[in-house]
Amino acid sequence: MTEAEIIEREESISEEIACLLACENTPYYDIDTLLKDLQICHGASFINQLKLIIGHPSFTPIEGESHIYSTGGEKDCDYPNLLNAARKAVEHGYKVFILPNPKGFRTPDFIFEQKGNYKLYDLKTITGKSSVSNRLVESIGQSNRVLLNMAVDYNTRLLVADIKKYFEINTNAIEVLIFKGKKAVSIDRHIALHPAFYRLLKKRYEK
């Protein structure tokens, strides 16, 4: 193991310890603190933190909806977009937790749970025909997974270029999930940087 690899491993271990200590000392009732501590969590401790967050008693089922929970925020200007995307996620088998917006730091929008798997997403509702690139860049630093809810007919070739660029400039990016009508298309780094990405997305996105 090289010196650089040893240093990287020690830094990773230090981050894990910091997260574990934060989790142990976090008041269970303080969801803002739970969300803030999430920023220093990685690996198994990150998943454990997501579980702590969705288990917080401030989450309640949204009246009239199935498998969608929130801590309030119905008056937020983006709430209709959040609810619209959450309903689509439920159709694809997810249980959805809409996250609050604490003051002082940025947070993603959703935690999705499906068969014991937990994922954190930042929502970008796409209404402009050339806006995906900017919206993806906005998400950097909030979550490694982005949900694009397409509310406009977006050119596939441009979408491919935008997503590829996002993965190239964001080395931490894990997934771009696209909701288009009844479709859900998941793009990971391997797919986005594959030479056949355009053909793959065209087949799944346009069908």
Per-residue exposure over 134-153, b if at least 16 CB sit within 10 Å of its own CB, e if not: ebbeebeebbbbbbbbbeee
Residue with tokens 């999705």: 112
Residue 207's pLDDT is: 73
State pTM to two decimals: 0.85
pLDDT of 35-70, one tens digit each? 999 988 989 999 999 999 999 999 999 999 999 999
Give the residue extent of every domain in the chain: 1-58, 62-206
Contact 135, 143 (CB under 8 A): no
CATH number of 62-206: 3.40.1350.120
Task: Give just the sign of the alpha carbon dihedral 80, 81, 85, 86.
Answer: negative
Say yes or no to pLDDT of 155 above 50. Answer: yes
Tell me the pLDDT of the chain averaged across its residues.
88
Most distant CA pair in the chain: distance in Å? 57
Lowest mean pLDDT among 16-25, 80-89, 116-125, 140-149: 16-25
Both tokens of 85, joined, read 């995307």
